[in-house]
């Protein structure tokens, strides 16, 4: 529940950008909190899609994201409970990169360290290059992939 007497947390703005992008797709979407203590994860249309949102408020590329062991374990649980799971990286005001769970394993494997990292970088008019503690993607994530890839799974 939202309490109007409390200040707005930063993550609420970034989560709002993602949820607004999904709702504006024209597809009927039911959004629910993922059953953990995190305020960054949601289930769409029951368990069809799980999304885990990370954000960086940095203005320019590269954007870095820290993944504590508990974040990775939560995403793993989401991947097991939902038909599809996506990591959503909100890169400041630049854009959003969405990465499907099977692709994410190429940059953050199943060996969860206490703290790992992911970075997204892009030049003007290009797609996102993704690197992580355990490797880098050999392809780029297009800005148009969000919310298109998620909507396809609903």
DSSP result, 25-75: TSS---EEE-SSS-SSEEEETTTTEEEEEEEE--SSSPEEEEEEHHHHHHH
Preceding amide of 133 cis, omega within 30: no
Give residue 8's pLDDT band: very low, low, confident or very high (50, 70, 90).
Answer: confident
For 19-32, b/e burial (b = at least 16 CB within 10 A) is: bebbeeeeeebeee
**Overall pTM > 0.85:** yes
Tens digit of pLDDT for each residue in 61-119?
Answer: 999 999 999 999 999 999 999 999 999 999 999 999 999 999 999 999 989 999 999 99
């Amino acid at each position: 529940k939202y309490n109007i007497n409390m200040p707005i947390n930063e993550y609420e703005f970034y989560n709002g950008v993602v949820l607004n992008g999904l709702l504006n797709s024209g597809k009927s979407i039911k959004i629910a909190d993922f059953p953990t203590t995190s305020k960054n994860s949601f289930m769409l249309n029951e368990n069809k899609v799980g999304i885990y949102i990370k954000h960086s408020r940095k203005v320019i590329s590269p954007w870095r994201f820290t993944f504590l062991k508990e974040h990775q374990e939560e995403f793993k649980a989401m991947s097991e409970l939902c038909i599809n799971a996506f990591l959503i990286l909100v890169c400041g005001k630049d854009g959003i990169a969405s990465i499907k769970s099977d692709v994410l394993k190429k940059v953050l494997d199943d060996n969860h360290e206490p703290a790992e990292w992911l970075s997204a970088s892009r030049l003007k008019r290009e797609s996102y290059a993704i690197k992580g503690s355990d490797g880098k993607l050999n392809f780029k994530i297009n800005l148009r992939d969000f919310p298109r890839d998620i909507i396809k799974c609903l």
